[in-house]
Structure 1
Amino acid sequence: MEFKNYYQILGVQKNASLEDIKKAYRNLARKYHPDANPNNKQAEEKFKEINEAYEVLSDPEKRAKYDNLGSSWNNFRQSGGKQEDFNWNDWFSTQQGRRTTKRGFKGFQEAFSSSGFSDFFEKIFGGFNSYQTNVNRKDEAISPDYELEITLEEAFHGCSRLLMIEGKKIELKIRPGIKDGQILKISGRNIVGQEAEDLLIKIKIKPHKKVIRKDNDLYVEVPIDLYKAILGGTSKIQTFGGTISFNIPVETQPGKVLKLKGQGMPDYNNPQARGDLYITLQVKLPKNLSPKEKELFTELSRLNKKPI
């Protein structure tokens, strides 16, 4: 893991004032912003690097820790450093609650990436919790600042929303598998460039007309005709992830439930894992029978020794 010179990244001296750091950050952020450099991977990585450097140098506690580390980085690295139980992988972390202190966020101007910080940052600052607050989930007084509605399909695939806060455009990236009522947190520092309360956004998933979600499992009803229920066969269902074929057993009874493993919602904390899809088969009885069909059903009834 390579040592990162945050002062060099922002182009400032080690004794630079906070105002100098802010000014350098603003200039570089405008220059390397993704909107100004579409499809430019190098600019995107540079933009991430700039945000990471500013996150450290604009915070007195992090800056002091970084400065004290200095040339001792190799010793720190060889000793394994100190890693606390906090993950900086996203600009947004999740929790079920919020601080009770109110703040006055109001407006939205440049989009910030939701990509993670470097391994170097995590190794040094993993123990800081400026992005996370321990909240009592049972505290009914706790409430988010905003409620954002998305569809179940968007929750399946993941999506993004462009928000406007304090004159800045903030791109809120929502990972696949997010749950109804889950709360995303945006650091107040990323919004206003200084110490500020975090912004909490509660996700509201709009009920789907045909699909029901329970945890990471999905439930849906599929109609099949009488003949397929009796004789068996295959059928198809259009899911959020695409078209899936499934087998229908011979002599399927109405209400039979089939389980398609791994075809449910993605797990928010483990995108490789998926819930299951449960299909309830609803047998449709034929209508408007032709004389020939009635004759055949009558014959079947006789064979089964059950008079009509």
Structure 2
Amino acid sequence: MAAKDYYAILGVSRGVAQEDIKKAFRKLARKYHPDVNPGDKAAEAKFKEINEANEVLSDKEKRAKYDKYGDNWQHAEAFEKAGGGQYQQQPSGNPFGGGFEYQQAGGGFGSEDLGGIFDQILRGGGRRRPHRGQDVDYETDISLEEAWHGTSRTLAMQGIKPEKLEVKIPPGVTTGSRVRLAGKGGEGSGGGPKGDLYLVVKVLPHARYERKSDDLYITIDVPLTAAVLGGEVAVPTIKGTKLALKIPPETQNGRTFKLTGQGMPHLGKTGYGDLIARVNVLLPKNLTEKEKALFTDLAALRPEA
């Protein structure tokens, strides 16, 4: 089987930066994606080849080993561990390495041991231990209303087998909440299992409410007359309803009222936080002459101390 040049597959030079590898992969993945080329077996094979190349070159550790050992870097690493020697990629090959030449690195095996070591590798005894794939974080923004009701997001997963995943986001999540999808992360190596995918939530700021834990805070405007004499105002809730709040006489600016159970759901539990309404007393504008006269009379009745 001909050796694969992952750099050539992605159309980049050997010393290219990691960011350029990402750009090249994305460009080619879009071009050869099965959804763009339905029924095209050649495009499907090319897409798999691109993914394989990206999986190695986008990982700094794997890329370094590939640069050192070449196409058979996994077997070469196992051979080095087994005998203390090193593989070096050479233009001329030998009967064992398919283009690789073994060089002794002190304290390793002699030439008489080569056949046995390679037999072990070919039988699988020299393979790397199975390693679990990396966990992957995927960030998503949601509104405060979505955090109250619960919502979902559909993720388009790229890879050898592209798929779409619908992720349920439960009510009550906060910024930093993580929703786990087991086995949907990075590919494992050496037969190891895939990692997990985590949907990391960011709850966007709201124009009306401020959130503290599971409590919500809102500022409500109260006319001066209602603050002085008492009255009633409507308080909007995150659910979209309105609640009547009685304002007692002589309510001061900045006073707060608690509406129990009108806040955010407790994540994974029953019950809700509270809605805290803070009073903002509105002073009248554009007073008529009669109104000014009344305030003048009031000022005379209540002179400042």
Instruction: Output the TM-score relative to the length of structure 1.
Output: 0.50
Aligned-pair distance for 1:191? 10
The separation in 1 between residues aligned to 2:232 and 2:265, in whole angstroms, is 26
Check whether the contact 1:144–1:183 (CA below 8 A) recurs between aligned residues: no
Helix, strand or coil: the match of 2:294? helix
Aligned mate of 1:181, from 176, 182, 185: 176
The separation in 1 between residues aligned to 2:276 and 2:292, in whole angstroms, is 34
AA matched with 1:164? A
Distance 1:188 1:144, change over 3 A: closer
The separation in 1 between residues aligned to 2:299 and 2:183, in whole angstroms, is 73
The separation in 2 between residues aligned to 1:293 and 1:206, in whole angstroms, is 44
The separation in 2 between residues aligned to 1:306 and 1:298, in whole angstroms, is 13
The separation in 2 between residues aligned to 1:289 and 1:239, in whole angstroms, is 33
The separation in 2 between residues aligned to 1:189 and 1:171, in whole angstroms, is 12
Aligned-pair distance for 1:170? 1.0
Matches within 5 A, 1:217-228: 217-228=215-226
**Residue 169 of structure 1 corresponds to which residue in structure 2?**
164
Distance 1:292 1:144, change over 3 A: farther
AA matched with 2:177? Q
The separation in 2 between residues aligned to 1:207 and 1:189, in whole angstroms, is 30
Helix, strand or coil: the match of 2:228? helix
The separation in 2 between residues aligned to 1:189 and 1:208, in whole angstroms, is 32
Check whether the contact 2:136–2:196 (CA below 8 A) recurs between aligned residues: no
Q: Does 1:289 align with 2:287?
A: yes
The separation in 2 between residues aligned to 1:249 and 1:143, in whole angstroms, is 55
Helix, strand or coil: the match of 2:271? strand
Matches within 5 A, 1:34-49: none
Any stretches of 5+ residues in structure 2 without a counterpart?
Answer: 1-60, 62-133
The separation in 1 between residues aligned to 2:238 and 2:296, in whole angstroms, is 42
The separation in 1 between residues aligned to 2:135 and 2:218, in whole angstroms, is 32
Aligned-pair distance for 1:171? 1.0
Question: What is the number of equivalent residue pairs in this alignment?
Answer: 166
Q: Which has the higher contact order (CA 8 A, sep 6+)?
A: 1
Aligned mate of 1:156, from 143, 148, 160: 148
Check whether the contact 2:236–2:243 (CA below 8 A) recurs between aligned residues: yes
The separation in 2 between residues aligned to 1:281 and 1:144, in whole angstroms, is 45
Check whether the contact 2:135–2:197 (CA below 8 A) recurs between aligned residues: no
Distance 1:174 1:305, change over 3 A: same
Aligned mate of 1:303, from 295, 298, 301: 301
The separation in 1 between residues aligned to 2:242 and 2:152, in whole angstroms, is 24
Aligned-pair distance for 1:264? 0.5
**Residue 211 of structure 1 corresponds to which residue in structure 2?**
209
Check whether the contact 1:168–1:191 (CA below 8 A) recurs between aligned residues: no
Check whether the contact 1:189–1:195 (CA below 8 A) recurs between aligned residues: no
Check whether the contact 1:177–1:267 (CA below 8 A) recurs between aligned residues: yes
The separation in 1 between residues aligned to 2:195 and 2:171, in whole angstroms, is 27
Check whether the contact 1:259–1:278 (CA below 8 A) recurs between aligned residues: yes
Matches within 5 A, 1:1-308: 145-166=137-158, 167-188=162-183, 195-241=193-239, 242-270=241-269, 272-306=270-304
Aligned-pair distance for 1:305? 3.8
- Percent identity, please: 41
AA matched with 1:156? W
Instruction: Output the TM-score relative to the length of structure 2.
Output: 0.51
AA matched with 2:293? E
The separation in 2 between residues aligned to 1:182 and 1:143, in whole angstroms, is 16
Check whether the contact 2:234–2:244 (CA below 8 A) recurs between aligned residues: yes
Any stretches of 5+ residues in structure 1 without a counterpart?
Answer: 1-101, 103-141
Larger radius of gyration: 2
The separation in 1 between residues aligned to 2:180 and 2:149, in whole angstroms, is 20
CA RMSD of aligned residues (A): 2.7
**Residue 70 of structure 2 corresponds to which residue in structure 1?**
none
The separation in 1 between residues aligned to 2:177 and 2:196, in whole angstroms, is 16
The separation in 1 between residues aligned to 2:272 and 2:235, in whole angstroms, is 18
Aligned-pair distance for 1:189? 5.7
The separation in 2 between residues aligned to 1:143 and 1:288, in whole angstroms, is 63
Aligned-pair distance for 1:303? 2.1
Aligned-pair distance for 1:291? 0.3
The separation in 1 between residues aligned to 2:204 and 2:136, in whole angstroms, is 18
Check whether the contact 1:233–1:247 (CA below 8 A) recurs between aligned residues: yes
